[in-house]
Amino acid sequence: MHRRIPLSLSRVRTFASHSPSPPSGPNTVGPYQVFDRHAKVLQRDRSATRDGGARSRTTDYVRDEVADRMIERLLDIKRKFNTILDLGSGPGHFSKLLDAEVTNKAVLLESSEKLLHRDPDSEFEVEVERIHADEERLLDVVEPNSQEAIVSCLSLHWINDLPGVLVQIKEALKPDGVFIGAMFGGDTLFELRTSLQLAELEREGGISPHVSPMTDTRDVSNLLGRAGFTLLTVDIDEVRVAYPSMFELMEDLQDMGESNAIVGRRNFIHRDTLAAASAIYKALHGNEDGSVPATFQIIWMIGWKPAPTQPKPLERGSAKKSMKDVL
Amino acid sequence: MNSATTTTTKSRALRRFALHATSTCATQAEAYGKCILATYTDVRKDACKEEFAKFGACLRESVRLPRK
């Protein structure tokens, strides 16, 4: 006879070396677990509390720069919003830049509670609401067809189920609602990735993942299309930062809460390998003044939820004139 | 989670290590980096063993705490 196993017992036991990641939500499909979301929340919580948040604030520079570029894109939309949902907001890098001419209210949604409450409401110009929830389970906290605009400023790169989250974003939007996103693309930190790989290969004879796999521009357009967005705009941009050495870069990444969180990662890098990677980083990528560069590639995406009032391309094959006659 | 003290000691030790890896032993690091740069299209284990041995020796020498 078929017996129902209680849910708590049926959960697969994980090895002690992996911290357990909760299974993906019921709204999502394709449970590819690349990132350890549980570890990521812990890392981000710790980053927000280190030195009372001071360390986290000094390493805001990448996110602040991208938030600044993002607000320009939002201002291109000549519309006043009642609320804007900031998905994976962190302490609100983007929402701090919003003013009363654009929106009445900003809703911050973030999975790290400490980071969400890092900065007081007085730093925002508009009314703020904070929701502590998992970005991967957006529809659990946000009603479908309820949002006028959803933005995501550098949070989607830790999402396991990117297609699922994009579908949820589209569902959460009202018809003719807009989604603007910025996420780290495949060339991000390629210097660090290659240096660590070369160092591990030469010193230890094998490699393990230290820098996350990241999405490609082409994939993003396909995913947006598949999620049902229309009028897509996807482009790329770069932020390059110079550091004294690889060690400062790694320290800053940790303070940003951007440490490695790949499932099954090695939490340990041998000191020899670390020293070797630093030497390789400088030899392969170093600037002339002795500093080392780090590239952050940003993929921008804008998509609209379809609505009958929007301009649309005509049906395929519905043309009345042949292109041959025109040319 | 680590207590605050262990974290600080750990990060301080790593910072000292970083300083030696990038400035005290900069010459050896550069030699090692050049060796990798020359072979990076075909790197295998211990391809730059000799250069790293010198780099590593310098690191171990400088990281050691001064005796009283």
> Looking at residue B35, what is its pLDDT?
94
Q: What percent of chain A has pLDDT over 70?
A: 91
* Nearest-angstrom CA–CA distance, A107 and A82: 11
* Nearest-angstrom CA–CA distance, A204 and A276: 11
Which residues in chain B touch residue A278, judged by CB atoms under 8 angstroms apart? 18, 21-22, 29
> Looking at residue B67, what is its pLDDT?
56
CB-based contact, A278 to chain B, within 8 Å = yes
Strands A147-153 and A81-87 turn out to be parallel
> Testing the interface with B: which of A202, A268, A281, A291 to mutate, by most B Cβ within 10 A?
A202
- Closest-CA distance, A193 to chain B, in angstroms, reads 14
pLDDT tens digit sequence for A34-49: 899 999 999 999 999 9
For A46, A226, A291, the CA distances from A299, given in Å and listed in that order, are 27, 17, 26
> Looking at residue B10, what is its pLDDT?
65
**Of A95, A98, A97, residue with least CA distance to A110:** A95
Buried b (16+ CB within 10 A) or exposed e, A225-234: eebebbeeeb
> Looking at residue A314, what is its pLDDT?
81
On whether residue A147 sits in a domain, the answer given is yes
On whether residue A206 sits in a domain, the answer given is no
Its sign, for the CA torsion B30, B33, B34, B35, is positive
On whether residue A198 sits in a domain, the answer given is no
Q: Which domain holds residue A235?
A: 30-188+213-240+297-306
pLDDT in tens, chain A (327 residues): 455 544 444 445 444 444 444 454 555 445 578 899 999 999 999 999 988 889 999 999 999 999 999 999 999 999 999 999 999 999 999 999 999 999 999 999 999 999 999 999 999 999 999 999 999 999 999 999 999 999 999 999 999 989 999 999 999 999 999 999 999 999 999 999 999 999 999 999 988 889 999 998 889 999 999 999 999 999 999 999 999 999 999 999 999 999 999 988 887 888 899 999 999 999 999 999 999 999 999 999 999 999 998 887 788 888 888 888 888
**Are residues B33 and A282, on separate chains, in Cβ contact within 8 Å?**
yes
* Nearest-angstrom CA–CA distance, A306 and A291: 48
**Are residues B36 and A280, on separate chains, in Cβ contact within 8 Å?**
yes
CB-based contact, A313 to chain B, within 8 Å = no
On whether residue A176 sits in a domain, the answer given is yes
Domain count, chain A: 1
Measure CB to CB from residue B29 to each of A272, A278, A284 and give the nearest one: A278
Domain boundaries, chain B: 4-63
On whether residue A273 sits in a domain, the answer given is no
pLDDT tens digit sequence for A139-173: 999 999 999 999 999 999 999 989 999 999 999 99
CATH number for the domain harbouring residue A81? 3.40.50.150
Q: Which pair of tokens denotes residue A117?
A: 């409450």
Q: Which residue is listed with tokens 């929106």? A: A103
